[in-house]
Amino acid sequence: MITTADAPPTNSSTRRYVTGGLLTLAALLATFAAWNWWLHEPAFVGTHFVSMPAEVGETIVFGLTGPQRPVEINRTSVQFGEGSALATTEVLVCTDGDVSTGIGTMRLSDVGGYCSELRLADGVALDPAEPGPGRYLLLAVTPLEAGTVQIDGVEVTYQERWRTHTERVAPTIEVNAG
């Protein structure tokens, strides 16, 4: 039987190594938690409700949002609300013009004053630090029948460094087609 008298003595250097190891482990865990939070912070912000009247067949463009950091858009998917009237949609990026302050909501015929060239957002790299127009997502909605087009958001799947994320980024949008 081992008694306390038989136990090997502990010395202060062993305690220092254990304490140092525990502090190092705690620092690594805190660093990992902060890094993981940063990677999962949404790249796109801004939600609100927008409503706009339109004629059947008339395209309305809604300025959605831009990323807070560089991303490459893989694909977009418009989420229609239950009972929505039929409509076509396209998620776009302005590639030539000045939309540095956002584009708001307007008819497609009025967009030319801000943006002379639109392209589909899928496959486009967006970087808020770079000058130029390609920093905001736009949603073009064309009602195909009378009624209310209800859009509950746009899911954007994007690549950021080595990770792929999907976010719902758009406001709730209604287009009242008459």
Q: Domains of the chain: which residue ranges? A: 11-40, 49-177
Looking at domain 49-177, which CATH architecture does it have? Sandwich (2.60)
Looking only at the bridges linking them, the beta strands covering 87-97 and 137-143 are antiparallel
User: Which candidate, 113, 114, 106, 115, places its Cα nearest to that of 59?
Assistant: 106
CA 31 remoteness from chain centre: 24
pLDDT at 150: 93
Strands laid side by side in the 105-107 sheet: 105-107, 60-63, 137-143, 87-97, 115-120
pLDDT at 91: 94
Contact 60, 52 (CB under 8 A): yes
10-residue mean pLDDT profile of the chain (178 residues): values are 57 70 74 59 69 92 85 94 94 72 80 81 86 75 95 92 86 85
pLDDT at 122: 94
pLDDT at 65: 80
pLDDT at 131: 67
Q: Find tokens 């486009």 and name the residue.
A: 124
pLDDT at 40: 59
What does the alpha-carbon distance between residue 125 and residue 134 come to, in Å, rounded to a whole number? 8
